[in-house]
Amino acid sequence: MDTLLSQELLQRSQNIRDAYHNLEINHHGEKWSVEEDLLALSNDIGNLNRLVMTRKGRYYDETPYQLEEKLAENIWWLIELANRLNVDIEKEMESFLSEKEQLLKIVNK
């Protein structure tokens, strides 16, 4: 089975989070908690929602972000939360996809 996320992408993700943790420690005396990480993800999901609505003509563009970068950032946050919560996200994605494929009778070629 090919890995869903390459080890290189996972390591780069972790390196970026480590750098942010260093900034958090420098500015606040400690790194963010998992709950603070989740709050940051929630904020980014709200920005993503506005960007999608803007793309679909249902909202006006007021965010300084691009849809594509915000989508990638949200995936990054999920990877980092999985890491901090000791969840093997690759294993869980494989399990989730396999269960849904079986339920929906999807045959992979």
* Per-residue pLDDT tens over the stretch 63-107: 788 999 999 999 999 999 999 999 999 899 999 999 999 999 999
Give me the torsion for CA of 4, 6, 7, 11, rounded to 10°.
-110
pLDDT band at 15 (very low <50, low <70, confident <90, very high): very high
- For residues 76 and 41, the answer to whether their CB atoms sit within 8 Å is no
What domains appear along the chain, each with residue ranges and CATH number? 7-103 (1.10.287.1080)
Q: Which residue has the tokens 């849809």?
A: 67
Phi then psi for residue 5, to 5 deg, are -125, 125
pTM: predicted TM-score of the whole model, two decimal places: 0.86
